[in-house]
Chain A
Amino acid sequence: MHLLWDIRVSLDLFLGGLGVGAFLVGAVLFFIDARLYESIIKKAFIIAPIMVMTGLLMLLSELGRPMNVIKTIYAVNPTSFMSIGIFVQSVFVAVALLVAFSTLSKKIKDINKVLVYITVSLAGLVGLYHGFLLTGISIEPWNNALPVMFLTSSVIAGSSLVFLLSVDKMDELFTNLKLPVVINLVLTLQFAAVFIWVYNLALTSASSRHIYEVLMSGFGMEFWVLSVLVGIVIPAGLLTFVLLKQVSFKVVALPVFVMMIAGSFFFKNLVVYLGQAI
């Protein structure tokens, strides 16, 4: 299959999502109790800009004339999501780097709250932009469900990465935040967003119906097994067992977080590929 946007675009969306999600969860913990979750917040604030910048490097390597990206500063197209998104993402990276440097140089509780508030707002916008980037192209597989779907996927993957790096704090997170309940809530939201996406494909028009058939026949394994089962259903099932006290959170935490990160990549990669499979 000849692809105009290859795996580097998927990696940009995935890594960018990891960074955005990590910052969002870090900011939530920052506003809940900056002292108690200091070590987790530190990791979240530091990995956020690194992940987003790594994703952007992937994207730059995919461009035909990457050096021309500098010209997007003055050559602006207000009808292009990419044009607007480049600005939002650049500002996010700049302020997230500022937060990361503050994290390294001072105590978490001393970081400017307004700065974190601005950065977390930008993180949310960048998370939505990843979906809008595809939706703006206006082709059937990239319908209006993508912004919310990508944002929730990013939150799931980013928070999973932060929690994976903080396994020593798992007990605190479980008891104080009721983490399985919160994660199951976000997974349910993600499942609903995926349902809306597929529902739109199946019922909107004859051509989108064709995309739906391609998804089910040509990408069935990637969709049902890697994206839905691995990324959503199995983690949600395991966390439900934790809530029912059938199994300890410590036992399932590692596989659940790894599966949610993998599921996010598989899903975003599938969406990028499906859009070009027609």
Chain B
Amino acid sequence: MAKKYGMIIDLHKCVGCGACDLACKSENNTPIGINWASHTTETHGVFPKVSYEHIPTLCNHCEDAPCVRVCPTLAMHYNDDGLVVHDPSICIGCKSCMLADPYGVIHFNIVDAFMVDIHDDSSIVKGGTFSKKELSDKSNAPFPNFNAARGAEGYEAIRGKGTVEKCTFCDHRVKEGLAPACVVACPADARIFGDLNDENSEISKTLLLYKSKTLLPERGTKPKVFYVRNYN
């Protein structure tokens, strides 16, 4: 049976530390302003009866993804494991996917930020500290926006401007049998990643154990990121 990857975020375990956000940035080298993994916070009630909620967010890898439906070139598409992934080589940068995406998790890269780091040869102390270009040359990787692990798997390791990008569930890691970076980094083990089609997987068992919810279920997108229990 084909795999159908999904993720559970146990809000009761989540401590709201943001380690998932940082792990994602570190793994995928996303620039400032582009967060594949993020979170929302909400404060309810009136003092002294106040509650606070921290909800981690990421691409929901929907089964009926509006971003895939509207993409004119199928640059946004489902891969063999049911993940919603993006192929920048055929993306025309029309941003239809961003308009159709009800979760606001797709981002548009407007600047070629990476090239600045490759060409900048200014250093803080001349002859004493590395310039960005020197570091880039010596480490054989365009510093710092080069995802060597992703590049090694044949994916586009430097994301150029004029195209959209979003969470991939770290498909380059999943392919190697590893869990997404956000799952590994979570200090509270609040995230469970696995195959929803495997009834013996931890994710399937956990979904049977707890009542789950998804974001914007009324949009009919069938998200594969599930939230169980409550933050408080």
A124 at the interface (CB under 8 A from B): no
With the chains together, A138 CA to B68 CA distance in Å? 13
Q: Is the CB of B96 within 8 A of A68?
A: no
Q: Is the CB of A137 within 8 A of B91?
A: no
Q: Is the CB of A5 within 8 A of B95?
A: yes
Complex A-B: 22 CB contacts under 8 Å? A5-B99, A63-B92, A64-B92, A64-B93, A64-B94, A64-B109, A65-B91, A71-B90, A71-B92, A75-B73, A75-B74, A77-B71, A79-B68, A79-B69, A83-B73, A136-B70, A137-B99, A137-B100, A138-B66, A138-B70, A275-B99, A276-B99
Question: A residues within 8 A CB of B194?
Answer: none
Distance in Å from the Cβ of B151 to the closest Cβ of chain A?
A: 20
Question: A residues within 8 A CB of B91?
Answer: 64-65, 68
Question: B residues within 8 A CB of A76?
Answer: 73-74
With the chains together, A68 CA to B160 CA distance in Å? 13
Distance in Å from the Cβ of B96 to the closest Cβ of chain A?
A: 6
Question: B residues within 8 A CB of A72?
Answer: 72-73, 92
Since A63-B92, A138-B66 are in contact, a sample of 20 more A-B pairs with Cβ atoms closer than 8 Å, ordered by chain A residue number, is A4-B98, A4-B108, A5-B95, A5-B99, A63-B93, A63-B162, A64-B95, A64-B162, A65-B92, A66-B93, A75-B90, A76-B73, A77-B69, A77-B74, A79-B68, A80-B71, A82-B72, A82-B96, A137-B96, A139-B99
With the chains together, A54 CA to B69 CA distance in Å? 28
Q: Is the CB of B72 within 8 A of A138?
A: no
The count of residues in chain A whose C-beta lies closer than 8 Å to any C-beta of chain B is 25
With the chains together, A266 CA to B151 CA distance in Å? 47
Beta-carbon nearest neighbor of A59 in chain B: B94
